[in-house]
Chains A and B, each alone.
Chain A
Amino acid sequence: MAGDDRIQETVSAIYVAESRRVLATLIRLLGDFDSAEEASHEAFRAALEQWPREGVPANPRAWLVSAGRFKAIDQMRRLKRFDSLDAPGGETDVAVIDTAAWADPESVEDDRLRLVFTCCHPSLAADAQVALTLREVCGLTTEEIARAFLTPAPTLAQRIVRAKAKIRDARIPYQVPEPAELPERLDAVLRVIYLVFNEGYSASSGASLTRHELSSEAIRLGRLLVDLLPEPEAQGLLALMLLQESRRAARTTAAGELILLDDQDRSLWDRAMIDEGTRLVDRAFSDAQVGPYAIQAAIAAVHAGAATPAETDWAEIVGLYDVLARADASPVIELNRAVAVAMRDGPAAGLGIIETILGRGDLVDYRPAHAARAELCSRLGRTADARASYARALALTRQEPERRYIEKRLAELTEGKR
């Protein structure tokens, strides 16, 4: 009995460590997500039955893949026999068990990468890519994903079913893209991972500012990608996520109020994450071509390297924003650069840039643009302008803690503080 318990624990541990790998390989062998999922469940069920009698096999993963494959073939045969009783017999589809090939760590890791690229295929809708990746690559349940994205579970389940149907019907191949397609396809994967991270780091709506599990999942995905495919931008994204995540404990009060970077208790920042992130930035920057994620991570690393806000190297940050604007020009990057310029050269210099952006008609509905304008105006003593911009920012925010923060700033301006 005690032995059985121990085997159960072993199977659970192997499930946590290996179930995603087993699934990824079964999808390749069976060519279908649903059969592979069912086969994987069957394989773990068989392990619970057989391992107490026969002992845990030397290579559990290969055993599970092989068991899953046999279960699936059995199932297909049963269906076939059911479909056409009079069909001529003699199909010889029980393949030789090539356990060695399944156990080969390299081909197994390739399967995981195939799974990532298939789930993040650009022909799938963006929300379907996210849902499918969390479901198939991370192994989250549909209910967990639905909760994290504040989406009804049936809607989410439907999204996943449709995505799988599209993979089957449009024949989206289970493969790692060719080198020529890789940069674009990798972008899509990185976008999905960063979306998951941001959803967890700064929830776009709702009362809770952080939904921690999603950020942890995204970081786990980022690590997996860096292990499988050490491209500089994959390293850059992982670095960026780690450096942002390192500030989690410092960025909200116990009551859930937002604390801005300047006011954060830097002793709460996670040093291990900062060190790992900074090392990854260095690695990404040793490549000839530096991409947007690596540059953003470098900016975050400069912040992380300053013991106090006053010690921040704003000149370095402005320089990095210049590089970023060349790699990936956008009004949002211009806005962030303007804030850095304000820190380096004074509020008037930054405000000038922001007003140019808004004057062009860009970012007029972008809450951070108005919040930044309000902040700089208030530093310059232009209270009426500051109040107008905070009011505009307030109208645009959908997030509770942010709303409370802006209201507090508005009240301070009215009382004549600052």
Chain B
Amino acid sequence: MKYLCLVYLEEDKLHAVPDRECQACGDGFRKSGLLVAAEALQPVQTAATVRVRNGKLSVIDGPFAETKEQLAGFYLIEARDLNDAIQIAGRIPPAREGSIEVRPVRQLEP
């Protein structure tokens, strides 16, 4: 089953973990066959939020949530079950600076 591990970090800690460490983690996961995809994200200031209402496209900046933590990157992994996914998420380096949200992927109904 696939789980999406969302990496959340406070803004001033976005670079607290060296890039090469995150790279090495992703490479390790890939070699063990655990990784589907992983990317780091630009800070939330670079984001645009898109909505379509009444067929009309609207764009605003943000999202700027109240929380100090922002989405900094993700790892899409393949795991046996939630315990397995939690163990893998615990090996993602930013886990020690911020937090990792582990979300099971839902199969779309045919």
Contacts and interface: CB of A to CB of B under 8 A. Distances in A.
A8 interface: no
B104 A173 contact: no
Contacts of B45: none
A171 B1 contact: yes
- Interface of chain A, helix or strand or loop or mixed? loop
Contact of A175 (B1, B83, B102, B104): B83
Interface in A159-178: 169-173, 175, 177
Contacts of B1: 171
A123 B86 contact: yes
A181 interface: yes
A182 to B, nearest CB: 12
Contacts of B87: 181
Interface residues of A, number: 10
Nearest to A174: B81
B20 interface: no
Interface residues of B, number: 11
Interface in B85-110: 86-87, 102, 104, 106
A177 B83 contact: yes
Nearest to B103: A170
Interface string B70-88: 0000000000111110110
A3 to B, nearest CB: 48
Given A173-B82, A177-B83, 15 more contacts: A121-B82, A123-B82, A123-B102, A169-B106, A170-B82, A170-B104, A171-B1, A171-B81, A172-B81, A172-B82, A173-B83, A173-B84, A175-B83, A181-B83, A181-B87
10 contacts: A169-B104, A169-B106, A171-B81, A171-B104, A172-B81, A173-B81, A173-B84, A175-B83, A177-B83, A181-B83
Interface of A: 121, 123, 169-173, 175, 177, 181
A-B pairs, top 4 by smallest CB distance, nearest first, are A173-B81, A171-B81, A170-B104, A172-B82
